Amino acid sequence: MAKSKSAFKSGSGVWLWLGIALITLLLDQVTKIAVIGSFQLGESLPMTSFFNMVRVHNPGAAFSFLADAGGWQRWFFTGLGTVAALVMIYLLRMHAGQTLFCLALSLLLGGAVGNVIDRVLYSHVIDFLDFHYAGWHFPAFNVADSAITLGAGMLILDELLRVRRGK
């Protein structure tokens, strides 16, 4: 076991995690391209009684935080996402043998880079998943946001399991 851990630390195991991040990124970008090609800004297509496909542009962060900040937020969130991606790549390389931790980071990395690409190309993030109930709409989101949320949940689970193992 120690031998495989050192092989992971040398960087050979990082490729699996980067591959998962790349698949996440590609799925995010392909779905956004499909939405751009199929919907006009603001257009909505009801799919079920609680879900619509929409096309909205979010110049801010999660839940449109800082959406009306005047433009500086585009570059702030682009820079933040880029720095976070570099840190995640470093962590994947250093901890490639930790399955849950690295799977979480891979999802976070793919999602973060997907949203950074949107900010650079379009100056906003393309969102298209709209869940609603009785007139209340959850803020629209995308595949990258889903991956980031799932990855964050997995990081919390990984830490809870690590603390539990330590007792």
How far out from the chain centre does Cα 129 lie?
14
- 28, 127, 130, 158: the catalytic one is 127
- 28, 118, 130, 145: the catalytic one is 145
Residue (of 133, 111, 140, 120) closest to 53 by Cα position: 140
- Amino acid identity of residue 85, one-letter, is A
| CB-based contact 47:58 (threshold 8 Å) | no
Q: Is 115 helix (H, G, I), strand (E, B) or coil?
A: helix
Q: Is 118 a catalytic residue?
A: no
Q: Is 68 a catalytic residue?
A: no
DSSP, res 139: P
Residues with catalytic function: 127, 145
